[in-house]
A = this chain, B = another copy of it.
């Protein structure tokens, strides 16, 4: 097998001999930008069938086709971790979604809190960022980006058994108790710039499934906090340990 320079997410099922038609953007990227040709290798995944080594079988500017040759990785599901966060400025929201995919979140949930500035998100654009991050980081799974949900509703409809790691900048605590948990379903909640309101903070602390974790003595931006919190969780309970 040749060394593949490109990794693509596709929707089709993958299996030996399967052909994969390329959409216009993919054809443009492979043939227009990357100057690839018939016979060149591409790694492909669809979030269900692992990663496959494919070769280009048709290369036209507006369309093209791959043929699946050999599975190179089995499907590797991330741990059952949700990253819930309050959307902030566009570039930093994009960044949080990218980082959640790289760090191995299974689901990304934008949450509207009292101090959230953004009332809307572009769910399709954020989902595209998650796809791109999965292509880049070598993962075989793309986390789903959920619709923007109000914090109150998220907590009211909270699934039984899922634990919540909540990073409170006012809290001086440690993350050590996390590793003792036997729960397999978790979520991390990152607040907006300006933090949670007093009411939200009291509500969160009163929840029986909430675990407060400190992120050190400095105040972290939401995007930094998201990566730091996922690192702590992955080390204590996830697939880094």
Chain A residues packing against B (C-beta within 8 Å): 76, 95, 98-99, 102-104, 136-139, 174-175, 214-221, 224, 227-228, 230-232, 234-235, 238-241
Contacts and interface: CB of A to CB of B under 8 A. Distances in A.
Contact of A219 (B137, B224, B238): B137
Contacts of A232: 231, 235
A224 B103 contact: yes
Sorted nearest first, the 3 A-B pairs with minimum C-beta distance are: A216-B240, A231-B231, A227-B227
Contacts of A238: 216
Contact of A227 (B98, B217, B231): B231
A98 B95 CA distance: 14
A227 B102 CA distance: 13
| Residue with the highest number of chain B CB atoms closer than 10 Å, among A95, A137, A224, A238 | A224
B220 A137 contact: yes
A217 B76 contact: yes
B103 A218 contact: yes
Given A174-B241, A227-B228, A232-B231, A102 B214 contact: no
Nearest to A236: B235
26 contacts: A95-B95, A102-B219, A102-B220, A102-B224, A103-B216, A103-B220, A103-B228, A104-B216, A136-B219, A137-B219, A137-B220, A138-B219, A139-B218, A214-B240, A216-B234, A216-B238, A216-B240, A217-B239, A217-B240, A224-B227, A227-B227, A227-B228, A228-B230, A228-B231, A231-B231, A235-B235
A8 to B, nearest CB: 16
A235 B138 contact: no
Contacts of A231: 227-228, 231-232
B138 A102 contact: no
Contacts of A228: 103, 227-228, 230-231
A102 B137 contact: no
A175 B241 CA distance: 9
Nearest to A220: B102
A138 B217 CA distance: 9
